[in-house]
Amino acid sequence: MTTAQKISQESIYRERTPGSFEAFKRAGEVMPGVAKGAYYYAPYPVTIARAEGCHLYDVDGNRYVDFANHHTTQILGHNHPAVVQAVERQLAQGIAVAAPMGIETALADELCRRVESLEMVRFCNSGTEATLHAIRLAREYTGRHLIAKFEGGYHGSHDAVEISTSPDPAKAGPADRPVPVASAGGMPPNATDNVVILPFDDEAAVEAIVAEKRDELAAVILDPKTGVIPQRMDFVRAVREITARYGVLLILDEIVGFRASPGGVQAQCGILPDLSTYGKIVGGGFPAGAFGGRRELMSLLDPTLGKARVFQSGSFSAHPVTMAAGLAMLEVLTPDVYAGLDRLTDRLVHGLEDVFARTGTVATAATSGSTFSIYFTGGPVRTYRAVAAADKGPVSAVYLGLLNRGYYLSNGLAMNCLSAAMDESHIDGLVEAVAGTLEETRS
């Protein structure tokens, strides 16, 4: 893809979004570039005025079909009546009080009903907090300090896990024996000392490393990377078997898991992790996190048994408005809703594969549940190094080209998703938009 083609898409984008550009300039005067890092893409992000169903409307009056859905959170689409009504009822009863209101128990009941491995649950404010507290529990329970995570796995922005999320392969060691690489500035020099890195999609290598480190390992944390680096179910099952064999806890990162099935990835794979972490959908569009698992592990948090061995709290943990929204969203997510989303996702994947073939584009659509990523590479994408080797050149122009055609995706074209507010016309529209954009950027 030439620089001229990229500039052409950018020029069209700038012509369509002058109000967004002005909003971006104003924001930069009081915030460091953007409100949060995920918002930014060049030349500047579109500013949204409102959202409804599967559509976004920007400050310039442009309409987009939303295939980002607030980082996969809005699985029902925007402003679903059940969620809005639940929030309004809770607002009338109280926004937040320094005491339980009962709605948190109802959401915990629903999570434990859906997920076999959950005997007890605690709520927090984000997926980052959920993995932080789950790791603390694992370390306290086992008396060991090492945590193993997978290369390319993202589990939030704290020092225990923001390691080797996107390392330079030249600095990351052998593919079957990766070395830990800090992923963020400001980390202490010894941040990598407490983390062991495992490779995706290689059962033998995982077993060799876990067997060697088992006396020091508190837990393996695994995110099957729904829609980003989707894993074989056999591999996920193997990780569960390996950790059980060597007496190491398994934390399954299900932050995006409710995109896969009513019971998450673990139900889909038929495994029982020791601890699970949640976010996104469990808050119904509001800030939320949760973690849970076996009673004997979760009891370390219980102050009624004496001083809790692990303390977890937070002013906005189990916020009643969030709990109400999350419960409403989960209650709407019936097996029929998942079946509908799966049918639409299959239609999208087949459509994209046909477009790649017709246009002679070397690309693949990686999917899991109702999430999908577009990578400019051939063959399956099941490891971080396969993602790292993909051609990044076309991404920006294709992303801007889709925006110019009225389709809003994740700005790296990874971890896009569908919503239940969509129908076949939205899917077919995106397929044709991808085809048109690829033809346009190749000419």
Q: Which of 6, 253, 274, 375 is catalytic?
A: 253
Distance in angstroms (rounded) separating the CA atoms of residues 8 and 25: 22
Contacts of residue 353, Cβ cutoff 8 Å, sequence gap at least 6: 365
Q: In what order do the strands lie in the sheet with 55-58?
A: 48-52, 55-58, 63-66, 407-408
Per the document, the length of the chain is 443
Helix (H, G, I), strand (E, B), or coil: what is residue 217? Answer: strand
Kindly state the DSSP code that residue 162 receives in the 8-state scheme.
-
Q: Which of 6, 149, 225, 280 is catalytic?
A: 280
Query: Please, what sign has the CA dihedral across residues 100, 103, 104, 109?
Result: positive
Whether 159 is a known active-site residue: answer no
Distance in angstroms (rounded) separating the CA atoms of residues 78 and 53: 5
Distance in angstroms (rounded) separating the CA atoms of residues 135 and 222: 12
**What one-character-per-residue DSSP string does 10-60 give?**
HHHHHHH-HHHHHHHHHHHHHSSSSSSGGG--SS-PPPEEEEEBTEEEETT
Whether 36 is a known active-site residue: answer no
Angle at 86 between CA 84 and CA 87, to 5 degrees: 65
Contacts of residue 255, Cβ cutoff 8 Å, sequence gap at least 6: 127, 130, 131, 155, 223, 277, 278, 279, 280
Whether 171 is a known active-site residue: answer no
Question: Among all chains, which residue has been given the structure tokens 């509908």?
Answer: 340
Q: Which residues pair with 372 in a beta bridge?
A: 367, 416
Q: Cα–chain-centroid distance for residue 243?
A: 24
Q: Which of 13, 64, 154, 384 is catalytic?
A: 154
Annotated catalytic residues are 154, 253, 280
